[in-house]
A and B are shown apart, each in its own frame.
Chain A
């Protein structure tokens, strides 16, 4: 397809802590097309946030380091552009919403001014025009413009997240990275914020990388989904394909651990065991120690992704290990 917006290829991010290498992201590949919403799902510690930060080159360094791979945004490798160039991209072409709206706004700056700051950083317009634009953005996310002069502590969590969304979208980015935007909010506010995100995504025609561990959010918002485990993608495909027919044992395990309203289940089936220690990953497939279908080859070799359906890839020896023969 010719309209790829973001192509992450074989990305690896490692952290060095106390002479130990923590492999947060290992050979991750991901593609997002213009205007498309990709969900990135995984457990806590799977490397979702690190992937997001790496995309705009904000992995804290030290201790973190992007050790390999390429991140192509509109054909340009973001890992090679100058510091100045990447700053011009951040907030302008790619912007990010953070997980906790409570701490993501500067407590001593007026919310309006914080939205205005993004505008002034990227557009050459006067402060007055920027303020007008910031107000319009506030109204767009459902906050009355006369609250421009208020401080973050005067807003509720949901309102703050709206402000964050306004900050992120005010320069009309091509890609919005939302790092668990609803995790810190309660359910009713979650629904409102998701509705807002969906509406704005349509209006601005923004592509989105939605990071979450909530499969309900994915079903609600996303077109495609990638399941992440221990720093790599286990399975990716369209939302329909993955929700109707999960292939990877991990994805199947994930679905089994969610309560289903339609079915009477006596108890949920959690995936046994724990995520492997990222500083001491198993030699083969990272999921093999917990996998009910684990074979010998799984413990010694990493599976490469294979296509199992129309736009549905899975990295598991159950579905095409013969072909890979690592």
Chain B
């Protein structure tokens, strides 16, 4: 009998495969960098994000203001760096909360037939309302600030996750290995968490990377109508919409935060794809 030494866990396999995917690794690097910037923002920004220098309004990007300045003479570079805090909070925070709730509800709806109708009809009610109206309604009730905005966006995205999870989980539950699992004496919780959930993850991961990008945009729209981040807080989406009246003369005011949003979204999508592929042992090389 051979002794097994340092048996690597399955997570180790996933990481090893993810490392081979260059795009995913670059994306991971970008996201880690943005997270670090968000954490250490007050230490790295060259100017105060709210400081208004009326001697240098609407400056084109130059040596002292690498991304230029806005119509109040605020340094866009500093605002982008500091704004990453709010954007990431909205993008990841809201999506993570929505994904957690949606996955739990979706799994329960798929597995416990009696709950299916109750949960999914409740989700339909949320989907049935126009997105923006729903968000404005929730925020009007809770009060306009960034925390409530995250709560509102999470509520708005939960049904999407619940639906995707339920669909994937239902096809997994009908597989013979789930039956085989109950035949070896596993309980419901174990079957759901260890067998159904990992096997229905793929579409959920994609949904997550899409929703994270969308919720950043949704946060921007909300800030635009005054229901989200309040000025002078430098939220990326808000910065894009602030710059729209200067688009002809000072295009960089909108384009640069826009590029930042695109960068995060693309990075998330590639990382999501990479993780999905790495999690599937059938796609081994």
Binding site for B on A (CB under 8 A): 56, 58, 62, 87-92, 95-96, 98-100, 103-110, 113, 117-118, 121-122, 131-132, 135-136, 145-146, 148-149, 151, 153, 164, 167-168
* Complex interface: chain A residues within 8 A of B55 (CB): none
B199 at the interface (CB under 8 A from A): yes
Residue contacts A-B, CB under 8 angstroms, 22 given? A58-B183, A89-B185, A90-B185, A91-B183, A91-B184, A95-B183, A95-B184, A96-B180, A99-B176, A104-B176, A104-B177, A105-B177, A106-B177, A108-B281, A109-B10, A117-B184, A121-B190, A135-B2, A136-B1, A146-B2, A151-B281, A151-B282
Question: Distance in Å from the Cβ of A82 to the closest Cβ of chain B?
Answer: 12
- Contact assessment for B184 and A107 in the assembled complex, using a CB-CB cutoff below 8 Å: no
Question: Distance in Å from the Cβ of B12 to the closest Cβ of chain A?
Answer: 10
Residue of B nearest to A96 (CB): B183
Residue of A nearest to B180 (CB): A104
Q: Report how far A149 CA is from B182 CA in the complex, Å.
A: 23
Residue of B nearest to A61 (CB): B113
Give the contacts of B168-219 with A (CB-CB under 8 A).
175-177, 179-187, 190, 194-195, 198-199
- Contact assessment for A108 and B183 in the assembled complex, using a CB-CB cutoff below 8 Å: no
- Contact assessment for B183 and A90 in the assembled complex, using a CB-CB cutoff below 8 Å: yes
Question: Distance in Å from the Cβ of B119 to the closest Cβ of chain A?
Answer: 18
User: Known contacts A95-B183, A103-B175; can you find 11 more A-B pairs with CB under 8 A?
Assistant: A58-B179, A96-B180, A98-B180, A105-B177, A108-B279, A109-B10, A110-B10, A122-B185, A151-B282, A153-B281, A153-B282
- Contact assessment for A91 and B185 in the assembled complex, using a CB-CB cutoff below 8 Å: yes
- Contact assessment for A106 and B10 in the assembled complex, using a CB-CB cutoff below 8 Å: no
- Contact assessment for B281 and A117 in the assembled complex, using a CB-CB cutoff below 8 Å: no
Q: Report how far A167 CA is from B14 CA in the complex, Å.
A: 25
B248 at the interface (CB under 8 A from A): no
B4 at the interface (CB under 8 A from A): yes
B48 at the interface (CB under 8 A from A): no
Chain B residues touching A, majority SS: helix
* Complex interface: chain A residues within 8 A of B181 (CB): 106
- Contact assessment for B4 and A135 in the assembled complex, using a CB-CB cutoff below 8 Å: yes
Question: Distance in Å from the Cβ of A285 to the closest Cβ of chain B?
Answer: 33
Q: Report how far A108 CA is from B199 CA in the complex, Å.
A: 7
- Contact assessment for A106 and B184 in the assembled complex, using a CB-CB cutoff below 8 Å: no
B280 at the interface (CB under 8 A from A): yes
* Complex interface: chain A residues within 8 A of B187 (CB): 87
Q: Report how far A106 CA is from B185 CA in the complex, Å.
A: 15
Interface-centre pick from B7, B113, B190 (highest chain A CB count, 10 A): B7
Q: Mark B1-37, 1 if CB is under 8 A from A, else 0.
A: 1101001101000000000000000000000000000
Q: Report how far A95 CA is from B181 CA in the complex, Å.
A: 11
Q: Report how far A100 CA is from B2 CA in the complex, Å.
A: 31
* Complex interface: chain B residues within 8 A of A100 (CB): 176
Given contacts A107-B281, A108-B198, A153-B281, contact A148 B184 (CB under 8 A): no
Residue of B nearest to A150 (CB): B281
- Contact assessment for A135 and B1 in the assembled complex, using a CB-CB cutoff below 8 Å: yes
Question: Distance in Å from the Cβ of A113 to the closest Cβ of chain B?
Answer: 8
Q: Report how far A98 CA is from B89 CA in the complex, Å.
A: 48
Selected from B8, B184, B195, the residue in CB contact (under 8 A) with A167 is: B184
Interface-centre pick from B1, B184, B282 (highest chain A CB count, 10 A): B184
* Complex interface: chain B residues within 8 A of A110 (CB): 10
Question: Distance in Å from the Cβ of B227 to the closest Cβ of chain A?
Answer: 42
